[in-house]
Amino acid sequence: MDGEIILINPMAAALLMPLAPAGALVNLFDVLAPLAPDLRERAMAHAEVGSAVGGGTVRIPVANASAVPDAGESRARPSVLGLRLVRFDAGTWMATLSDITQSVRDEQRALTDRLRAASRLDGLTELPSREVIVEHIERAHAAAPGSDGAQFGILFIDIDRFQRVNATRGLAAGDLLLQSVADRLRRLVEPEGALERLGLRGPVAGRLGADEFVIVAPEVHDAQTLAEAARQLVGALSEPYVIHRRAEHASASVGVLLVRPDPTTVDPESLLQDASIAMSDAKAAGGARYSLFEPGMKARMARRAAIESDLRGALMRAELSVAYQPIVALPGRRCVGMEALVRWQHPTLGAVPPQEFVAIAEEVGLIQALGRFVLFEACGAFAAWRHRFGDAAPASMSVNVSRAQLADRQFAGHVQEALRSTGMQASELQLEVTESMAAQDGVVQQALQTLRRMGLSIALDDFGTGYSSLATLHLLPIDVLKIDRSFVMQVETSLHHRVLIEAVILVARSLGMRTVAEGIETEGQAAAVAALNCDKGQGYLYSRPMPQDAATAWLEAHRAVDAV
């Protein structure tokens, strides 16, 4: 019972001899102690005659045991011993030893194969994984050069605003949406399915990760066929989904890449990147659409990446500035306000258009810092003009704000801080929002109501290009209506546009709103909108946006003219 060996056969001795100091096979527990230090304790606690310790074979690793001396033998030593230790009778153990190295290796190999097979399927959607998609791209490319005119296609799919589903309905709902998308893709690519009927031979769908999917079509006739497949794909993925018994509306943006024969070595990841760039182009255009890849997209994407990277330090490097454009009373040219407009002079890219970098700032979470900079600069400029020109200074300052700013609970506090630090009155500050933002977003409307109660006025910018209508204007917390330049530029030549402007002005007046005509470039346009009783005008006829010192000089010159 204490482990002393009474009888041992040659095979067992051969397995144990390399493990025993000086080859002394006296006590089994002592020999195995360096490898299985708890074996003696486990054995002594085992009292049932006829049964094995541990319920079966105990595995004892050998290869990495530092306490095992070098036997100096040339033959391969087992790396795993199997020990079956059975209680023979009240005073005796029977031990069976075996070399189970190979069986362990076989098990590990089988486990590795199972894990590899599992990794080739996405765990959530059970679609082929990225690894499998890459293999399909490699095979399609290998086949293409050997076939006359052969080409293949990649459709890169991203679910639009997927994070909204996770945020509003929870991660479980997001997972169900992804599974539903996968089911639709499976039906589209099945043999003799919709895509094959279009002419895509053997399409395969897979999931790359997150909300990104891909379809590889190993053989495609032409770009038109692939584009039609993308169009049908967008339509199929835009149909309502049922998630937890509730309808969920989602859409997808699709990047389309047609790959033609090329004898050079293919890099599947670069092809996926090109398709992804096309997808980003579709998403930037509003989503729920597809876009065909063209080489110029890479340059635009590189520019966007540079802008995104450099924008983070632009404020600290003093590359951003604020320009000011006068707003004048109609008729005449008396300046009654200024609009603050952000500008960026990039050291290598030159002047970056605001519509380009402001949109990126919103996407990457920099809009709050950017907006705060413009707000404080504008209020500071207004205070300087009020101090210099007194009652002849502009009566108000207009500053554009984004949805992200208005959704920030600290925004109202930032406004109060800007007013307090410059001595500006709340009634002298006007915030401008886009029509689509104010008309569709309850969060924005609530924030605007709070700001109006503080004494600020709210202007609806670019009216006529968004989602609201004359019938719903009374529902919006708006004080000023800015008529979009696309209407103003045709007021002299189009009776239709003239009538529309007149209707807007009449409805605005009936609701107690003031009106501003944007984009006035000619005296004729100014006279036309003034004849329609528009309150104010803004545009290049009066001045382009100017830096603060130039705006100060402009105000000085016009004050002198007004005095005469």
Alpha-carbon gap, residue 430 to 448, rounded angstroms: 11
Q: What is the mean pLDDT of the segment spanning 65-79?
A: 49
Q: What is the CA radius of gyration of the chain?
A: 38
- Residue 443 scores a pLDDT above 60: yes
Predicted confidence (pLDDT) at residue 564 exceeds the cutoff of 60? no
Given a cut of 50, whether residue 65 has pLDDT beyond it is: no
Residue 284: the pLDDT is 81
pLDDT of residue 403: 86
Report whether pLDDT(105) > 80. Answer: no
* pLDDT above 50: residue 101: yes
- Range of lowest pLDDT (291-295, 329-333, 430-434, 474-478): 474-478
State yes or no: pLDDT of 375 exceeds 90: yes
Asked whether residue 24 carries a pLDDT value surpassing 80, the answer given is yes
Question: What is the residue-wise DSSP string for 60-77?
Answer: EE-TT-TTSPP---SSPP
In terms of pTM, does the model score above 0.85? no
In the structure, what pLDDT confidence band is assigned to residue 112 with cuts at 50, 70 and 90? low
Q: Which residues pair with 480 in a beta bridge?
A: 459, 514
Domains in the chain, start-ordered, CATH in brackets?
Answer: 10-103 (no CATH), 130-294 (3.30.70.270), 305-553 (3.20.20.450)
For residue 90, with 0-12 CB atoms within 10 Å meaning exposed, 13-18 middle and 19 or more buried, which class applies?
Answer: exposed
Which range, of 267-271, 339-343, 432-436, 533-537, averages the lowest pLDDT?
432-436
| Spatial contact of 134 and 127, defined as CB atoms under 8 Å apart | no
Statement: residue 491 has pLDDT above 90: yes
Q: How confident is the model at residue 265 (pLDDT cuts 50, 70, 90)?
A: low
As a whole number, mean pLDDT of residues 404-417 equals: 92
What number is the average pLDDT over the span 512-534? 96
Higher pLDDT, 530 or 302: 530
Query: Cα separation of 228 and 56, whole Å?
Result: 63
pLDDT digits (tens, 9 = 90+) for 36-58: 898 999 888 887 888 888 888 88
Beta bridge partners of 207: 213
* Direct distance between the N- and C-terminal alpha carbons of the chain, in angstroms, rounded to an integer: 121
Tokens of 276: 């992804």
Q: Is 74's pLDDT higher than 50? A: no
Q: Among 177-191, 351-365, 406-420, 521-535, whose mean pLDDT is lowest?
A: 351-365
Whether residue 331 has a cis bond before it, omega within 30° of 0: yes
- Residue 442: band (very low, low, confident or very high) from pLDDT cuts 50, 70, 90: confident
What's the confidence (pLDDT) of residue 66? 40
Contact present, 230 and 155 (Cβ < 8 Å): yes
Arithmetic mean of pLDDT, 79-108: 86
- Reported as a single tens digit per residue, the pLDDT across 247-264 is 999 999 999 999 986 666
% the chain with pLDDT above 90? 61
pLDDT of residue 516: 97
User: By the 8 A CB rule, do 219 and 150 touch?
Assistant: yes
Nearest to 378 by CA among 360, 394, 361: 394
pLDDT for position 75: 44
Binned at pLDDT 50, 70 and 90, residue 537 comes out as: very high
Report residue 17 as tokens: 């001899």
Residue 72's pLDDT is what? Answer: 43
**Closest residue by Cα to residue 230 from 202, 191, 208, 200:** 200
Q: Report yes or no: 233 and 157 within 8 Å, Cβ to Cβ.
A: yes
Q: For residue 116, what pLDDT is reported?
A: 64
**Residue 541 pLDDT greater than 50, yes or no:** yes
Burial of 92 (0-12, 13-18, 19+ CB in 10 A): exposed
Mean pLDDT estimate for the chain? 88
| Residue 20 DSSP class | S
Tell me what the mean pLDDT of segment 152-157 comes to: 96
Helix (H) or strand (E) holding 465: none
Chain centroid to CA 28: 63
Position 197 scores a pLDDT of 92
Alpha helices (runs of H) in 432-540, residue ranges in sequence order: 435-440, 442-453, 485-488, 495-510, 523-531
Asked if 481 and 506 count as a contact pair (C-beta separation under 8 A), the reply is no
